[in-house]
Amino acid sequence: MAYAIEIKDLKKRYGNGFEALKGINLNVEQGDFFALLGPNGAGKSTTIGILCSLVNKSSGSVSIFGVDIDKDFPGAKRYLGVVPQEFNFNVFETVFNVVVTQAGFYGIPTHVAEERAEKYLKKLDLWDKKDTQSRMLSGGMKRRLMIARALIHEPKVLILDEPTAGVDIELRRSMWEFIKELNEQGTTIILTTHYLEEAEQLCRNIAIINSGEIVENTSVKALLKTLSSETFVLDLDETIGEVKLDGYEIRLVGDGSSIEVSVMKGQNLNDVFAYLNDQNAKVVSMRNKSNRLEELFVKLIKGSK
């Protein structure tokens, strides 16, 4: 079975000499929920730009569902829906027209386009805004409009470039519910985001790109297993004095009503809980100090420099 996306030795050098991609190789399986992460300027947007024909590649090959973009780019584009980072619709068009017009560019007859526009605008809570000029929408609505537009030709791969930037929490959650639903129905999702907890919760596989090179490409599970230690914050019902437990690094936080525990690979929290129990300290809540993927991300990016 062909990969949803197959990238081989992809290079991009811009006119000013900047080498944005230094020969990356990447495969995304059909039906995957894939995260492409990296710091600003790492090459994520260039990669996505090449996939959807907004950037000309310097060399290498790209296939979308087995269709080589050098041989049949229009054919390959049919499989792809793109939600870009920046708003790129005609701001003077109504919401409905933005979506229906995009369908026309894919050769979809008007009556089919209008039915689909209604379906996706309703799904994304934009139906009551269908006659509103798109410039009048809020930031979150504009993002949802771009998702509806990207889905109008019912693509097999949906690329979301920072889709939740500037979107409030409630909206972000409903947006992800919808995207998860799409993925469950078989649509391959490729996501770039700066919210790494999103990538951890949603994605099965992950690639980390830095300075135009892929520095990690694995499953989220496998990547998280490589964590050598995790730091947890335990909130206690009362303040505690000194905490000392052999083999564990434990620090008091603030007035001692919370502690930070670093758990190395092979260790477990049961020892800590047993120790706290002996001290008559009750744990009322517990959380990771920072996102696990974030810790790995920072480590990998630093390591690749």
**Least distance (Å) between residue 28 CB and another protein:** 18
Residues 110-139 that bind another protein (CB under 8 A): 110
* Contact assessment for residue 69 and residue 76, using Cβ atoms and an 8 Å cutoff: yes
CA atoms within 13 A on the CB side of 246: 0
Q: Does 242 bind another protein (CB under 8 A)?
A: no
Q: Does 52 bind another protein (CB under 8 A)?
A: yes
Binding mask 59-98 for another protein (x = CB under 8 A): --------------xxx-xx-x-x-x-xxxxxxxx-----
Among residues 21, 24, 108, 147, which is the contact residue for another protein, using CB under 8 A? Answer: 108
CA 59 vs CA 11, 23, 56, 64, 297: distances in Å:
5, 8, 9, 16, 28
CA 263 vs CA 212, 271, 282, 283: distances in Å:
34, 10, 19, 17
**Least distance (Å) between residue 6 CB and another protein:** 19
**Least distance (Å) between residue 51 CB and another protein:** 9
Among residues 105, 184, 251, 298, which is the contact residue for another protein, using CB under 8 A? Answer: 105
Q: Smaller CB distance to another protein: residue 105 or 274? A: 105
* Cα distance between residue 40 and residue 113, in whole Å: 36
Closest by CA position to 55, among listed 28, 22, 21: 21
Q: Does 228 bind another protein (CB under 8 A)?
A: no
**Least distance (Å) between residue 107 CB and another protein:** 2
Q: Smaller CB distance to another protein: residue 46 or 210? A: 46
* Contact assessment for residue 232 and residue 47, using Cβ atoms and an 8 Å cutoff: no
Contacts (Cβ under 8 Å, ≥6 apart) of 185? none
Token couple for 130 = 């269908």
Which stretches of the chain bind another protein, using CB under 8 A?
A: 14, 49, 52-56, 73-75, 77-78, 80, 82, 84, 86-93, 101-102, 104-110, 149
